[in-house]
Amino acid sequence: MSLLTYTKKASVALPCESSLPYEILTDYDTYFEWMPHVSKSKLLAKEGDLAIAEFDMTMPQGEKFAVECIHTKNKMVMTRKISGKIPVWQYEWIIQPAGEKQCNVTLTIQGKTSWHRLVPHYRSLISASKCIAALQAQVASYSPDLAVADQGGEKLIEIAETEQGLVCWLRGKKYNLTPAPEGK
Amino acid sequence: MIKAVINLEAPREHVFAILTDYPRYKQWLPGCEQSDIVSASGATTDTNIVINSMKKMQLGLRFEAQPTQSLNFRMTAGKDMKSYVGSYRLMDAADGVGTVVIAEMEIDAGAMVPKFMVDRIAKKSIDDTGTALKSYVKKVPFQGGVAPKAAAPARAEGAKPRRAKRIIQVVKTAEGYRVWMMGQTYTITEK
């Protein structure tokens, strides 16, 4: 590592198949749900294992960055910056299976050392541990094994987004939620 | 290498046709005063281009086209720069209409001009080219003869059932209530 570049690395063990973090990492339309300081995310184009995506940042407001992404199914997602001011060259996510329903995810962030790194909002984006924690939280939304309820206690209420729409479990009974008319 | 993503509301065939219509570059490429084909052989075309931007420059540019996929270019003659290379890579937009162009450019102006300055000029040039291409694509009707087929949205390609996503969960425990919301856990205890 030189003075002009930096590398940051973080890992996490996840109690799920490799396919789940891979699906989250390649679903570019939903990065805004979990990636720190990303307010909008959009897949622009996809051909085979190459995708182009664009992200809007919450702060500095309106700032965008575009990335090109290369995938290896359930193993690797590499995201390289094409345009934008964020002080990152690339994010490399490596997913390794670690037994039944277990996998390890390692994130390596590389970039150029610049004053931009001092901007608080950029700091989250270049923090491998924060990005990994955000991925872990998103994985938990899809993986019941990570959720707190499974540690015991009485489940009072749970709301989940499914293919059938919003579903609510209230004291063990399932309800399908339908949108209420505007203003009601 | 300076890069940019250009979103165009036109089919890929149309965009490719415009990018390879070298004599018409002067109609849309910012600062282009002259663009003549010197020779053409297969996918390779040699051109003579005059650009009047910060300075008037005459360049010999060689284009190598891969139909509807990409267009590479590099300087073959010229006194004002040491090297000038770049490419346009074309992809169908994920929404099923339009084209996404990934433009790349690298300029070497020699040891006398600082790289950061050259990169800044290249960035401006690539952004201006994108803006000009966007408006020109809208103005010029598609000349391909055959109507471009509607591209299938890229995201439909690998579409599969979405996993159920937990949003909120409230659990009553001996210690109080545990609220799990969007990946974060909160504990509520009685005072």
**pLDDT 10s digits, A45-60:** 999 899 999 999 887 7
**DSSP letters spanning chain B:** -EEEEEEESS-HHHHHHHHT-GGGHHHHSTTEEEEEEEEEETTEEEEEEEEESSSEEEEEEEEEEETTTEEEEEEEE-SS-SEEEEEEEEEEBTTSSSEEEEEEEEEE--TTS-HHHHHHHHHHHHHHHHHHHHHHHHHSPP-SSSPPPPPPPHHHHT--PPPPEEEEEEEEETTEEEEEETTEEEEE---
The count of CB pairs under 8 A between chains A and B is 118
Which residue of chain A is at minimal alpha-carbon distance from B161? A163
CATH topology of domain A5-145: Alpha-D-Glucose-1,6-Bisphosphate; Chain A, domain 4 (3.30.530)
pLDDT value of position B86: 94
User: Which member of A20, A54, A149 has the closest CB to residue B171?
Assistant: A149
CB contact under 8 A, B164 and A160: yes
Per-residue pLDDT at B99 exceeds 80: yes
Q: What pLDDT, on the 0 to 100 scale, is given for residue B160?
A: 60
A68 touches chain B (CB under 8 A): yes
Phi then psi for residue B24, to 5 deg, are: -90, 5
Burial of A45 (0-12, 13-18, 19+ CB in 10 A): buried
Domain boundaries, chain A: 5-145, 154-184
The pLDDT assigned to A101 comes to 85
| B39/chain A closest Cα distance in angstroms | 33
The residue assigned the tokens 């036109």 is B10
How far is B171 from B155, CA to CA, in rounded Å? 37
pTM for this prediction: 0.80
| CA proximity to A111, closest of A143, A67, A161 | A67
Mean pLDDT of chain B: 86
pLDDT in tens, A108-137: 999 887 776 666 667 777 889 999 999 998
Residue of chain A nearest B90, judged by CA positions: A45
Cβ distance of B169 and A157 shorter than 8 Å: yes
Please state the length of chain B: 191
Q: What token pair was written down for B174?
A: 């001996």
Task: Confirm or reject contact between A167 and chain B (CB < 8 A).
Answer: yes
Residue range A133-160: mean pLDDT, rounded: 76
pLDDT of residue A149: 44
- Domain B2-139 adopts which CATH fold? Alpha-D-Glucose-1,6-Bisphosphate; Chain A, domain 4 (3.30.530)
- For B134-172, the pLDDT digits (tens) are 999 998 877 665 544 444 554 444 556 677 888 888 888
* Three-state DSSP state, A110: strand
User: Is residue A69 over pLDDT 60?
Assistant: yes
Give me the mean pLDDT over the A9-28 stretch: 93
Contact B184 A144 (CB under 8 A): no
Give B 144-173 residues with CB within 8 A of chain A. Answer: 154-155, 157, 161-173
Residue type, A95: I
Look at residue A122 in the predicted model and tell me its pLDDT.
72
What is the predicted ipTM?
A: 0.77
> Which residues does chain B have within 8 Å of residue A66's beta carbon, measured at their own beta carbons?
4-5
Q: Is-contact A95 A103, C-beta < 8 A?
A: yes
Contacts of A157 in chain B (CB under 8 A): 168-170
Domain boundaries, chain B: 2-139, 161-188
pLDDT above 80 (res A13): yes
- Pairwise pLDDT comparison (B187 vs A107), residue with the higher score: A107
* Nearest C-alpha neighbor of B108 from the set B64, B70, B75, B60: B75
